[in-house]
């Protein structure tokens, strides 16, 4: 999905505000407001299985600071998380754990496959007995990020793409 500049520019609130004396009238669609609210407070799950997690933590840190886009509240429980960033290799033994975490997340839930391992198995595609060749064999993925590991900018791009996807979803 393309994130064009007009898409990522902070889209104003989806609706029209008509000021009146002592207040105003708001004309909007409920679906769009809900999508707008969801896209701006995506809470990621604390989940990382290898080196991509280091880049993910860097994205959360002060230098890149994903809080600017509404991701700051990383949750350590799937019950409170909206998005799972698969940051790292998924091995056969981890696959049921990932599935369970995904199942435990409340709807609506989103998945980002970060890096080569989560996308396709990456460097472990050939000649390995233990690695799942892409996390999408286990759970559905919304956004894929290329890289090994991807830079924080790439992850931010993926997160913003996910926001776009949510905002443009069924209205």
Return the range that interacts with other proteins (CB under 8 A); candidates 11-19, 74-82, 109-117, 121-129: 121-129
| Rounded CA separation 15/36 (Å) | 11
Residue with Cβ nearer other proteins (94 or 162)? 94
Residue with Cβ nearer other proteins (36 or 124)? 124
How many Cα atoms sit within 13 Å of 90 on the Cβ side? 25
How many Cα atoms sit within 13 Å of 38 on the Cβ side? 22
Residue 112 phi/psi, 5-degree rounding, is -115, 125
| Rounded CA separation 119/134 (Å) | 5
Q: How far is CA 41 from CA 35, 158, 163, in A?
A: 10, 15, 9
Residue with Cβ nearer other proteins (121 or 150)? 121
Instruction: Tell which positions 130-159 bind other proteins, by CB under 8 A.
Output: 130, 133
- Structural tokens at position 73: 């509240």
Residue with Cβ nearer other proteins (21 or 126)? 126
Among 31, 99, 100, 125, binds other proteins (CB under 8 A): 125
Among 40, 50, 58, 128, binds other proteins (CB under 8 A): 128
By CB under 8 A, tell whether 79 contacts other proteins: no
- The CB-of-80 to other proteins minimum distance in angstroms stands at 32
Q: Where do contacts with other proteins occur on this chain (CB under 8 A)? A: 92, 125-130, 133
């Amino acid at each position: 999905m393309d994130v064009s500049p007009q898409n990522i520019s902070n889209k104003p609130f989806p609706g029209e505000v008509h000021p009146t004396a002592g207040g105003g009238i708001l004309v909007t669609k409920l679906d769009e407001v809900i999508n707008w609210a969801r896209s701006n407070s995506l809470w990621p799950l604390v989940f990382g299985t290898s080196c991509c997690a280091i880049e993910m933590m860097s994205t959360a840190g002060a230098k890149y600071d994903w809080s600017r886009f509404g991701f700051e509240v990383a949750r350590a429980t799937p019950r409170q998380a909206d998005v799972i960033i698969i940051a790292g290799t998924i091995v056969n033994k981890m696959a049921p754990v990932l599935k369970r975490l995904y199942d435990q997340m409340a709807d609506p839930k989103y998945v980002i496959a970060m890096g080569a391992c989560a996308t396709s198995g990456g460097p472990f595609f050939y000649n390995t007995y233990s690695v799942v060749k892409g996390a999408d064999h286990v759970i559905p993925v919304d956004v894929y990020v290329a890289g090994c590991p991807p830079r924080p900018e790439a992850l931010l791009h993926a997160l913003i793409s996910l926001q776009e996807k949510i905002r443009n979803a069924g209205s």
